[in-house]
Amino acid sequence: MDIRSQIAMVFHLDKCIGCHTCSIACKNIWTDRKGAEYMWWNNVETKPGTGYPTKWEDQEIYKGGWEKNGDTVSLKGAGKFKGLKNIFHNPHLPVLDDYYEPWTYKYQDLFTAPEGNDQPTARPVSLVTGEHVDVQSGPNWDDDLGGSPDYARQDVNLDKLTAAEQEAMFQLERMTFFYLPRICNHCLNPACVASCPSGAIYKRGEDGIVLINQQRCRAWRMCVTACPYKKTYYNWHTGKSEKCVLCYPRLESGQAPACFHSCVGRIRYLGPLLYDADKIEQAAAAPEDQLVDAQMDIYLDPFDPEIIRQAKENGIADSTIEAAQRSPVWKFVKEWKLALPLHPEFRTLPNLFYVPALLPTMAKVNDGVYDSTGKSLWNGVESNRLPMRYLASLFSAGNTEKIVAVMKRLMAVRTHRRSVTVGDTSREEAAAALEEAGIDADTADAIFRLTSLATFDERFVIPAAHREESIEMLESTADVKGSTGFGFKERPQRGL
Ligand code: SF4
Ligand code: SF4
């Protein structure tokens, strides 16, 4: 066992109001610069929809992530050597049109326009060329367009649904959408790290944050192709790639990243998880329907005395272990099994987990009319407005059982709390829902508390910085043959 510590995250999608405050907070701090105008290290998409860059989830187009090769995995498109073939033309790289051409407005024209019969206007101009642009798209262009033919119906996850399910999903009275905020997942098996021919991208030893060394980056842009989440970006002005740094200077001083701190819906949780690095290759190469379980198996119980002993032996500080015990991520992901990774089939083992949205799925509709007269408050998960298969395509590599189990737990918590506070659900009904979901009333209360009433300190558990005890995982030693981001074949060196 090779125990390490990883800063991990949970986004509770039922709480996201799509305000984009997180994106703006990040933009103001990190990407308000020349060459970075089009970058949104944090972006918020509407689902169903095509996202940013458009259709980023479609690896037939972008060739990102890993593919299973027997007992191991290899990069799908880019690689240290595989990608060199495309050095002069990489057909899998997203172009500016896939993101959008960033623009501003000629506000000065409002003041300097000569007197005339018409109201002066501020025309949009490109932030890249300075020329007038006819704005056709933007990073959140599909905001709230949950039923539109150009966006919602182009969502690649719909390919997993039957024609009847798709038809039902877009009936006017059933139409629904939810928001999906996204940042870099600081993956355990990062394709970006493995693809970089310069060894410029590395996973920080002490907390697993993935960073790009700007001095070593040589503009190969393999990382842009390799990241299946399209969370590395090329800065056309500096000629270097950039990505989310999880506000590490803030973390080192005990503060939450800006997008977490500013989140209006308080959907974001952050804390360390202990994990076994020896299990990464096996988990990344698990059969598709077992990917979620295989990833969950990597994370270790921070209360287990043997785990604690071995973690200390591996140089993990007491304060980090204590933070892992208080981590809200541990609770949501492992204890309560409510949060799932986004697109685990990309096999990068992402460390950002999502509590799937229940709200759009639970409203009771009978013959197209909302029904609050029935005996039970909500329909069963099978008659939800969003097909389980759609959510499974997003969060469990198609394993609908995982989604149904999460939905039942979320519904049980609500039914239980309604029986306690509102009284329109009987105690018996609540007890039956809890039993079906496999949780007790105390657990439901704890889930309710962390979801709805948690304080700042409960949502963000940030271990004190211990750089002197860090375990540097030198990705530049990664096994090139196996193209592994983590260097499974060669044991990573310990100590600085
Ligand atoms: S592969 Fe993972 S760690 Fe690398 S940029 Fe993409 S999301 Fe981030
Ligand atoms: S700030 Fe929070 S609530 Fe607002 S869009 Fe971002 S994640 Fe959602």
- Which ligand places an atom closest to the C-alpha of 259? 2
231 Cβ partners below 8 Å, 6+ apart?
Answer: 41, 182, 183, 184, 185, 192, 243, 244
Question: What kind and span of H or E run contains 25?
Answer: helix 21-26
User: 24: Cβ below 6 Å to ligand 2?
Assistant: no
Q: Give strand pairing partners of 202.
A: 211
User: 16: Cβ below 6 Å to ligand 2?
Assistant: yes
User: 257: Cβ below 6 Å to ligand 2?
Assistant: no
In angstroms, rounded to a whole number, what is the distance separating the alpha carbons of residues 476 and 481? 13
Dmax over CA atoms of the chain, in Å, equals 80
User: 59: Cβ below 6 Å to ligand 1?
Assistant: no
User: 185: Cβ below 6 Å to ligand 1?
Assistant: yes
User: 279: Cβ below 6 Å to ligand 1?
Assistant: no
Task: Give residue 484 CA to ligand 1 midpoint distance, Å.
Answer: 13
The confidence score (pLDDT) of residue 424 equals 79
Task: Give residue 102 CA to ligand 2 midpoint distance, Å.
Answer: 22
Q: Are 189 and 485 in contact (CB under 8 A)?
A: yes
Q: Are 190 and 348 in contact (CB under 8 A)?
A: yes
Q: What is the pTM of this model?
A: 0.91
- Report the SS3 class of residue 354: strand
| Cα pseudo-dihedral 365, 371, 377, 380, rounded to 10 | -20
pLDDT in tens, the chain (496 residues): 999 999 999 999 999 999 999 999 999 999 999 999 999 999 999 999 999 999 999 999 999 999 999 889 999 986 656 656 666 678 889 999 999 999 999 999 999 999 999 899 999 999 999 999 999 888 888 888 877 888 899 999 999 999 988 888 888 777 888 999 999 999 999 999 999 999 999 999 889 999 999 999 999 999 999 999 999 999 999 999 999 999 999 999 999 999 999 999 999 999 999 999 999 999 999 999 999 999 999 999 999 999 999 999 999 999 999 999 999 999 999 999 999 999 999 999 999 999 998 865 555 555 655 555 545 556 666 667 788 899 999 999 999 999 999 999 998 999 899 899 988 788 998 999 999 999 999 999 999 999 999 999 999 999 987 666 555 544 433 443 333 344 333 333 333 2
The confidence score (pLDDT) of residue 426 equals 86
In angstroms, rounded to a whole number, what is the distance separating the alpha carbons of residues 49 and 152? 4
Residue to mutate, 39, 348, 483, ligand 1, most ligand atoms under 8 Å from C-beta: 348
- Report the SS3 class of residue 360: helix
Task: Give residue 185 CA to ligand 1 midpoint distance, Å.
Answer: 6
In angstroms, rounded to a whole number, what is the distance separating the alpha carbons of residues 490 and 4? 16
The confidence score (pLDDT) of residue 174 equals 76
The confidence score (pLDDT) of residue 485 equals 42
User: Looking at ligand 2, which atom is closest to the CA of residue 179?
Assistant: 8
| Cα pseudo-dihedral 47, 208, 322, 292, rounded to 10 | 50
User: 18: Cβ below 6 Å to ligand 2?
Assistant: yes
- Residue 196: both structure tokens together: 């970089």
Does CATH place domain 268-459 in 3.30.390?
Answer: no
User: 264: Cβ below 6 Å to ligand 2?
Assistant: yes
Residue to mutate, 73, 185, 224, 343, ligand 1, most ligand atoms under 8 Å from C-beta: 185
The confidence score (pLDDT) of residue 35 equals 94
Task: Give residue 473 CA to ligand 1 midpoint distance, Å.
Answer: 16
The confidence score (pLDDT) of residue 63 equals 93
91 Cβ partners below 8 Å, 6+ apart?
Answer: none
Q: Are 493 and 277 in contact (CB under 8 A)?
A: no
In angstroms, rounded to a whole number, what is the distance separating the alpha carbons of residues 185 and 432? 37
129-157 tens-digit pLDDT: 999 999 988 888 888 887 788 889 999 99
Residue to mutate, 9, 10, 12, 16, ligand 2, most ligand atoms under 8 Å from C-beta: 16
